Amino acid sequence: MIKVNLDLLLVQRKKTLTELSEEVGITLANLSVLKRGKARAIRFSTLEALCKALDCTPGDLLEVGEE
């Protein structure tokens, strides 16, 4: 199972989901789905935009968790 660390990164960067949504051009609804770990896929361009906005690497944002 892939774990999404979006909540942790937002707290560390002192950003809200709304601010991130506006910065990367992704709807709040889609970011919410990703944040809850309910997304079935993510585009590389979306992953890149999130990593740039959060100043992180894909490995910071996504990790393999236990099922």
Per-residue pLDDT of the chain (67 residues; tens, 9 = 90+): 899 999 999 999 999 999 999 999 999 999 999 999 899 999 999 999 999 999 999 999 999 987 6
Alpha-carbon distance of 20 to 10, in angstroms, equals 8
Tokens, residue 27: 């709807």
One DSSP character per residue, 40-63 reads S---HHHHHHHHHHHT--HHHHEE
Alpha-carbon distance of 32 to 50, in angstroms, equals 13
Q: Return all residues near 64 (Cβ < 8 A) that are at least 6 apart.
A: 1, 2, 3
Domains of the chain: 2-58 (1.10.260.40)
